[in-house]
Amino acid sequence: MLSVNIEHTREVLEEFPRLELGTFPTPLQPMKNLQTNLGTSIPLYIKRDDLTGLGPGGNKTRNLEYLLGKAVKQGSDVIFASGKSQSNLCTLAVSACRKSDLDCVIVHNDEAEPEHKVGNQLLNQLLGADLRYVGDVTDKEREALVLRYAQELEDQGRHPYVIQNGASTALGALGYVHAAMELCQQCQEQNLDLKHLFVPGGNGGLAAGTIFGAALTQAPFHVHVITVEHEKEKLKEILETFLREIAELTGQLQTYDFSSVYTIHEEYRGEGWGKSTPECVQQIYDLAQSEGIFVEQVYTSKTLYGMLDMVRKGLVEGSACYLHTGGFSALFSQF
Ligand SMILES: Cc1ncc(COP(=O)(O)O)c(C=O)c1O
């Protein structure tokens, strides 16, 4: 029934050093109550990457396994990560460094450290991160400052490794090639003929890794990318670049046409990154009250709402799975 190529994908991934940071496979579970409430016969599933088992959990754990795998292999002793002060990646990066006995510097492009911290800021304090606030500069300016700080440490004899673009790089995306392979294996084990997988599209690393993994594994499911940040055309460009880079990095699928593997949906983005919509806020209540699972406003509730809306409108045939990418701790700063 399922034409999957798991062994080949595993062999490709084994070429890359990987630090074991999370608990895998993450659960693949039915969402029976949500399905009943929606009044659909389409089986609905959830892949629990909110339960990756490190810090507050979430998708970037998978990216960090490959990025820090490389960092440790090349002898790095201090890791730089950067983002807004509620960045999920930053908190996961410090958590990963604590587990791996590495120093970690976090650079936030936000105004000065607040006295009362909530969400990821509080977790960063508990994790004892070296926190630097550089003011409300652009992401590009922040990344330039990070390179300068890293150079300063290098001049002092340290060996820094800089996590770039929120860990959404071709190497980081291997974490989601791995996730796609993992999901295929679970489908085989559970005899589940999964037809649709819904994932969020932010910087695009997660989506690109998943699409590449689905293609390499010859997965039976189509990947639906719900963009929460960029307009459709822009995200398409980003994904095409990532897919080329992953192909180059792995030496696989270099002439492959990925266009039949995925579709980008723009309808659920609202006004863009971090701007919630009434539907996504309602979705947070609905999932919590039907399944006891939390989603947040930036990435995960928009993606889930997108899947359910398409199921409701009859645009999806066959079983559908929502990839829950975490962000639980950021939720506390959003209400
Ligand atoms: C919870 C959560 N989901 C999804 C994403 C999207 O990942 P990407 O930026 O690789 O598209 C992020 C990115 O930070 C995230 O924190």
Query: Which of these, 122, 59, 118, lies nearest to 92 by C-alpha position?
Result: 59
Ligand 1 centre distance from Cα of residue 289 (Å): 24
Q: Which residue has the tokens 């928009």?
A: 302
pLDDT at 47 over 90: yes
Closest-lying ligand 1 atom to the alpha carbon of residue 167: 10
In the chain, ranges of CATH 3.40.50.1100 domains: 6-57+168-333, 61-167
Mean pLDDT of the chain: 96
CA of 206 to the centre of ligand 1 (A): 7
Q: Is residue 27 within 8 Å of 45, Cβ to Cβ?
A: no
Tokens of 56: 């507050």
Which atom of ligand 1 lies at the shortest distance from residue 168's CA? 10
For strands 262-265 and 222-227, give the pairing: parallel
Q: Which residue out of 26, 61, 197, 206 has the highest number of ligand 1 atoms within 8 Å of its CB and is therefore the one to mutate?
A: 206
Mean pLDDT value of segment 214-228: 97
The preferred substitution site among 67, 85, 203 for testing ligand 1, maximizing ligand atoms within 8 Å of CB, is 203
Rounded to a whole number of angstroms, the CA Rg of the chain reads 19
- Ligand 1 centroid to Cα of residue 155, in Å, is 33
Q: Which of 51, 60, 236 to mutate to test the pocket of ligand 1 (most atoms within 8 A of CB)?
A: 60
pLDDT at 260 over 70: yes
CATH node for 61-167: 3.40.50.1100
Q: Which amino acid is at 316?
A: V
- What's the pLDDT score for residue 115? 86
Report whether 323 contacts 226 (CB < 8 A).
no
3: confidence class by pLDDT, cuts 50, 70, 90 = low
**Partner residues linked to 81 by β-bridges:** 106
**CATH code of domain 6-57+168-333:** 3.40.50.1100
pLDDT of residue 207: 98
Which of 298, 300, 303, 322 to mutate to test ligand 1, by most ligand atoms within 8 A of the CB atom? 298
The strand pair at 320-324 and 262-265 is best described as unpaired
Report the pLDDT value the prediction gives residue 1, as an integer from 0 to 100: 42
The rounded Cα 77 to chain-centroid distance in angstroms is 25
Query: Going by CA atoms, what residue is nearest to atom 9 of ligand 1?
Result: 203
**pLDDT class of 41 with cuts at 50, 70, 90:** very high
Reported as a pLDDT band with limits 50, 70 and 90, residue 311 is very high
Q: Which amino acid appears at position 254 of this protein? A: Q
List, for residues 173-188, the tens digit of each pLDDT value: 999 999 999 999 999 9
Instruction: Indicate which residue's Cα is closest to atom 2 of ligand 1.
Output: 325
* Other C-beta atoms lying within 10 Å of the C-beta of residue 246: 26
Of all atoms in ligand 1, which is nearest to the CA of residue 88? 16
The answer, yes or no, to whether residue 171 has pLDDT greater than 50, is yes
Tell me, in angstroms, the distance from the centre of ligand 1 to residue 92's CA: 12
Contact status, residue 84 vs residue 59, Cβ threshold 8 Å: no
Supply the residue whose CA is at minimum distance from atom 5 of ligand 1: 202
Cβ-Cβ contacts under 8 Å for 275 (sequence gap 6 or more): none
Q: Are 189 and 231 in contact (CB under 8 A)?
A: no
**Cross-strand partners of 44:** 320
Q: What is the mean pLDDT of residues 59-83?
A: 98
The residues lining ligand 1, judged by C-beta closer than 6 Å to any ligand atom, are 58-59, 88-89, 166, 168, 200-207, 299-300, 325-327
Q: Which of 50, 67, 88 to mutate to test the pocket of ligand 1 (most atoms within 8 A of CB)?
A: 88
User: Tell me, what's the pLDDT at 302?
Assistant: 98
Band of pLDDT at residue 112, cut at 50, 70 and 90: confident
pLDDT at 93 over 80: yes
Position in ligand 1 atom list of the atom nearest CA 207? 11
- Give me ligand 1 centre to Cα 251, in Å: 26
Burial of 170 (0-12, 13-18, 19+ CB in 10 A): buried
Peptide bond preceding 25 in cis form (omega within 30 of 0):
yes
Task: Report the alpha-carbon angle 267-210-124, nearest 5.
Answer: 85
Residue 249: band (very low, low, confident or very high) from pLDDT cuts 50, 70, 90 = very high
